[in-house]
Amino acid sequence: MRDLPGGPALLALARDVLTTELLPLLPEERQPDALLVAKCMAIAEREAELGETPEHELRILYGAGTDTDELLRRFARELRIGAFENSPDHDVCARAILWQLTLAKLRQSSPEFLAANGFDQPGGAIGRAKPCLSPVSRKRSTPLPKVKSSL
């Protein structure tokens, strides 16, 4: 068990001191560097709080027992060869996972960009990917609802 305040809280406090107390004392030409430092601290803070990008849906897709990197690698390989394109259900499922991955990463790296694009309700607007099976592995999956592709 770690002591309190925890890492994210310490980073938040340190960032606040940096931006409100130290930044005005720096010469103007070094202030952009201090803002970059603050940005790094904010990302580290959010990554410590939110953890890794979601892997739940990928595990439904490919099954348990593989590390996240390998799941992502496999997903990427299958996307490259268009493995999800033969079935509208698989296509919708793949897109849902892509959205999930992207929004989760941006919540950590750039929540202001998400907000600027209308994704500004953490915990609200992001839907779960529908469970499905890998078109390559042909593992059993939960049947998918029919959703029309937008392409």
Partner 1 sequence: MAGTASPQSKPRHAALARFLAGASAASAVEITALNRLRGGALQENWGLDARFSGGTLDGDQRLVLRSSAATGIAASLTRHQEFAVQKAAFAAGVTVPEPLFASDEPALFGRPFFIMRRAPGIALPDRITSDLALDPALPMIAERLGGELARIHAIRPPRSDLAFLAPCADTGPIRQIAGFRAYLDRHPRPRPVLEWGIRWLETHIPPTDAPVLCHHDFRTGNYLVDGAAVTAILDWEFAGWGDPHEDIGWFCCKSWRFARLDREAGGIADRAPFYRGYERESGGVIDRRRVRFWEVLASVRWAMIALEQTDRHMIGGERDLDLSLTGRRANECELEILMLLDRKGSHSDA
Does 110 contact partner 1 by CB under 8 A? yes
Interaction of residue 101 with partner 1, rule CB under 8 A = yes
Q: Which of 73, 86, 136, 139 lies at the binding interface for partner 1 (CB under 8 A)?
A: 73
Is 41 among the residues that bind partner 1 (CB under 8 A)? Answer: no
| DSSP label at residue 84 | T
- Rounded to whole angstroms, how far apart are CA atoms 10 and 131? 38
| Among the residue ranges 6-14, 16-24, 78-86, 134-142, the one whose residues contact partner 1 (CB under 8 A) | 78-86
Closest CA to 90 of 100, 105, 101, 75: 75
- Closest to 10 (Cα-Cα) out of 55, 42, 50: 42
Residue 42 binds to partner 1 (criterion: CB under 8 A): no
User: Do 122 and 129 meet the contact criterion of CB atoms below 8 Å apart?
Assistant: no
Question: Considering the complex, what minimum distance in angstroms separates the CB of residue 73 from partner 1?
Answer: 4
